[in-house]
Amino acid sequence: MKRALISVFIVAFTMLFATGAYAGWVLYENFDSYANIDEMKASPKWNISEADEAIANFSIENGKLKIEHLAGYPNDSAWAQLIQNTGKIGGIRVTIEVQNWSGDARARIGADYGTLSDNPDLIWYSHELRHRWADWLGDYTEYVRGYLGVYDIPTFDWVFDLFYTELGHGKRPIVGVPYTLTAMFDWGIAHYQVDDPDDLGKARFKIIEEFDKIDEPFRGIGTRTGDDPGTCVVYFDDLYVYRTWQ
């Protein structure tokens, strides 16, 4: 009986690897091969639009992607969008280092989680480093923020929140320290985790709403400022993606 069971496993694993099916973390980009941003933009892995370049300067510096969010663009996002087989990207892990920031500023991972099943409203996922004014503190504060919420399609107006978390609020400085953020958005779970510079913990949310996947969902890394228009200079490096089953 045991022997038969082992044989079944051997056959199953052989089929698995013979078909090339694979799930797990793989390096998507380390930015080391690009001499400049034009080479990165020519890669089949990335899209940086003219609209993104209007509000932020993108460049390659020391094997990292540098994004400088310019002053005077409140509530605007600048993205480097992953475009290679995005339907099979169930997670993104990337190291983000903030050189400086002011006002309401964020450096983040963003993704379409899916759409609600009873209407086309979008479930939006983000995991980010954040700098903002805190009334309770009478000063600016910075922290890691995880968010999941529903937005109307086609207006992209906010409809309701699904989940919000803050990891390590005020425990560590952020400027000048590389943070490795793990974002996962598959299997009906929204997962947020910080491993470096310290284990700042993790948070998970189980989506109970019925939802559908999107064929070519948005996956990106980038910057944003809010109502209190800020600026930021941020480096991204060593980006891994979680490839789901083929």
Stretch that binds Ca ion, among 48-56, 90-98, 202-210, 229-237 (CB under 5 A): 229-237
> Could you say which of 16, 63, 119, 171 contacts Ca ion (CB under 5 A)?
63
Q: Is residue 52 close enough to count as binding Ca ion by CB under 5 A?
A: no
For residues 220 and 74, what is the distance between their CA atoms, to the nearest angstrom? 19
Smallest separation, CB 30 to Ca ion (Å):
4
Q: Is residue 32 close enough to count as binding Ca ion by CB under 5 A?
A: yes
Name the residue whose CB lies closest to Ca ion.
63
90-109: which residues touch Ca ion (CB under 5 A)?
none
Q: Is residue 235 close enough to count as binding Ca ion by CB under 5 A?
A: no
For residues 181 and 201, what is the distance between their CA atoms, to the nearest angstrom? 11
Instruction: Return the half-sphere exposure (C-beta side, CA atoms, 13 A cut-off) of residue 191.
Output: 16
Cα Rg, the chain, nearest whole Å? 19
For residues 223 and 110, what is the distance between their CA atoms, to the nearest angstrom? 10
> Could you say which of 23, 30, 177, 201 contacts Ca ion (CB under 5 A)?
30
> Could you say which of 28, 29, 31, 221 contacts Ca ion (CB under 5 A)?
31
Q: Is residue 237 close enough to count as binding Ca ion by CB under 5 A?
A: yes
Using CB atoms within 10 A of its CB, is residue 105 exposed (0-12), middle (13-18) or buried (19+)? buried
* Number of residues binding to Ca ion, judged by CB under 5 A: 5
Q: Is residue 61 close enough to count as binding Ca ion by CB under 5 A?
A: no
For residues 68 and 55, what is the distance between their CA atoms, to the nearest angstrom? 9
User: Phi and psi (nearest 5°) for 72?
Assistant: 90, 15
Give contact residues for Ca ion (rule: CB under 5 A).
30-32, 63, 237
